[in-house]
Amino acid sequence: MRKIRIGLMGLGQIGRQIYRLALQDERFEVVAISDIGRPEILHHLLNKAMGKAAEIRLESNYLVGGEMKSRLIPADHPTEIPWDVFGADVVIDATGKFRSAEELQPHVDNGAGRVIISTLPLGEIDRVVLCGVNEDAADATDRIISAGSGSTTATALALKVIAECFEINHATMTSVHAYTSDQSLQDYAGPDYRRSRSGAENIIPNVTPALEWVQRALPAVDGRLTAYALNVPVQVGSMLDVTASLAEPLEDIDVIRDLFVAAAQKMPHLIETTAEPVVSSDVKGSACSLLVDLKGTMQAGTRMAKLIAWHESLGHASRILDVAALYSGMPVATLKEAC
C-alpha cells in the first residue's frame, strides 16, 4: 500500500501530535517538516511529546522515527517550501498563521497536491470538513481545505446527534477552552483588550468562529445557534457546554443520554461517553472529538437539554489526519475535469 506523503508546516503542539499519530499509523509518512526552530530544540520537544513510546533521532537535517525519515526545512512562509521536491501528496499547515486562500495558495503552487489547515479559515476556501458531520461534501476539486477546530467539530457532532431525533428550536454553546500558544503569559498589549490579558491568570471571554462554521456544516441549526468561548488557565483539556431548546417535550433526560451512547457505538473513533466524574485533565490522551459526560447531561424543564462534553487537541490532530485520508482516495481533479 502506498503511503500518504505528508508535508508538515509547523511543529508546535498540533504539529507534534500529527507527527506522533502519523508515526503510529502505517497509512502516513511525514516526508518534510517546515519550522524555523533550531533542529536540536525541535527534536528535544518532539521526544518529550512522544514520551518513552518511541525515540526520535536527529540525523543531520532529518528527524528519523522507525522507518519514517522527515527532512527539516528552515522556512516560515508557504512561498519558501518546494513541496514538489519531496513529493508531498498533502501539506498540513499547522502554524495557525496562514488562514486565507491567498496565503495558502503558494503551498499548491509549490507542488502540494492539497493543503489542509489545522484551524478555521479566514474567508472562503474550497471546503471546511467536520468529521462525522459533512464528509459527504468533500470533492475531488478541493485543493485548500480546513479540518475545522476541536471546538467546532465537537459542537457540530453534539448538535447533529440531537438533531437527528429532535427538532432544535435554538441552541447555545459555550466553549471552555484551554489556553493557546497565541495567548501571552503576562499582560501584553495586543489588538484585543481581553486577549491582551494573561492567559495563565485569567478566564478570558472570547468570540468563536465555530458559530459560523457549525451552522454552515449543519443546516438543522442554521440561524438557531449562538456561541461563545471562555479561554481558561488550563493547559490540557477543553469543555463544551451545549444547551438545546427542543420543539417537542423531552420525556426523560435518559433519552438524550441513550442517543449519545448509541452514537458512540456507531462512531467510536469520534464519540465516547463516560459516567465517571471526570475533570479536564482526565481527557488528556483522548483521540476522540467528543467525550460526552453523562453525569453532566441534564434536563431543564420539559423542552430543554443541557450537555457537558470534553475534548483535547489530540482529537483534533486525529481529525486532521482523517481528512487527509478522506482526500487520499480522491485523485486531484480540476474544475474542468469535474465537469
Task: Look at residues 60, 58, 55, 67 and name the one whose alpha carbon lies nearest to residue 30.
Answer: 67
* Residue 281: CATH number of its domain: 3.30.360.10
Residues 174 and 293 in one domain: yes
Q: 223: domain range?
A: 150-313
Q: Tell me the average pLDDT across 286-292.
A: 97
* The predicted structure's pLDDT at residue 335: 43
Q: Are 116 and 108 in contact (CB under 8 A)?
A: no
Mean pLDDT, residues 120-125: 96
Q: What is the CATH number of the domain that holds 68?
A: 3.40.50.720
Are 9 and 141 in the same domain? yes
Burial (Cβ within 10 Å: 0-12, 13-18, ≥19) of residue 150: buried
* pLDDT greater than 60 at residue 71: yes
Q: Could you tell me if 135 and 162 lie in one domain?
A: no
Residue 87 and residue 58: Cα distance in Å, rounded?
22
231 and 306 together in one domain: yes
Q: Looking at the structure, do residues 233 and 131 belong to the same domain, yes or no?
A: no
Q: Domain check: are 171 and 279 in the same one?
A: yes
- How far is the first Cα of the chain from the last one, in angstroms, to the nearest whole number? 30
Cα–chain center distance at 323: 10
Whether residue 227 is found in the same domain as residue 331: no
Residues 180, 168 share a domain: yes
Q: What is the pTM of this model?
A: 0.94
Looking at the fold, whether 164 and 68 belong to one and the same domain comes out as no
Give me the pLDDT at residue 52, please: 62
Counted domains in the chain:
2
Number of Cβ within 10 Å of residue 57's Cβ equals 12
Same domain for 290 and 199?
yes
CB 145 within 8 A of CB 125: yes
Choose the weakest-confidence range: 6-10, 191-195, 220-224. Answer: 191-195
| 186 in the same domain as 55 | no
Q: Are 260 and 306 in contact (CB under 8 A)?
A: no
Same domain as 162, residue 68: no
